[in-house]
Amino acid sequence: MMLQIQRSFDREKGVWNITPKGDVDISTASMLRSALDEAYRENKADIILHFDDLNYMDSTGLGVIIGAYGRMKENGNNITLKNPRDNIRKLLRITNLDRLLCPELCE
């Protein structure tokens, strides 16, 4: 499935809202990387990734998010994933990244 990405900056809250729709895998991960990098270059702020419409993500997509997370942490910013589907939650749990990227799932 194709990947579509919507992004908007919430000036009131000072955060990026980025919504990927479709699948993030080896063929589409570069699109997600570009969206994250461009947004962060434009406004160095926290990013919320809304996963409501993300059907699938493999380890390549996870690597993109971890790479962006590392670069952002250097400036004190954060990435948070919201509403990941069960299959993505499983990937996050297996890698122990759920605590880092989706703290509300661990509460």
Taking a C-beta distance cutoff of 8 angstroms, is the pair 107, 73 a contact? no
Residue spans of the domains in the chain: they are 3-106
Contact residues for 9 (Cβ-Cβ < 8 A; gap 6+): 15, 16, 17, 39, 42, 43, 45
- Is 3.30.56.10 the CATH classification of the domain at 3-106? no
pTM of the entire predicted model:
0.92
Which pLDDT belongs to residue 36? 98
Taking a C-beta distance cutoff of 8 angstroms, is the pair 98, 65 a contact? no
What pLDDT, in 10s, does the model give residues 38-52?
A: 999 999 999 999 999
Nearest to 51 by CA among 86, 100, 76, 77: 86
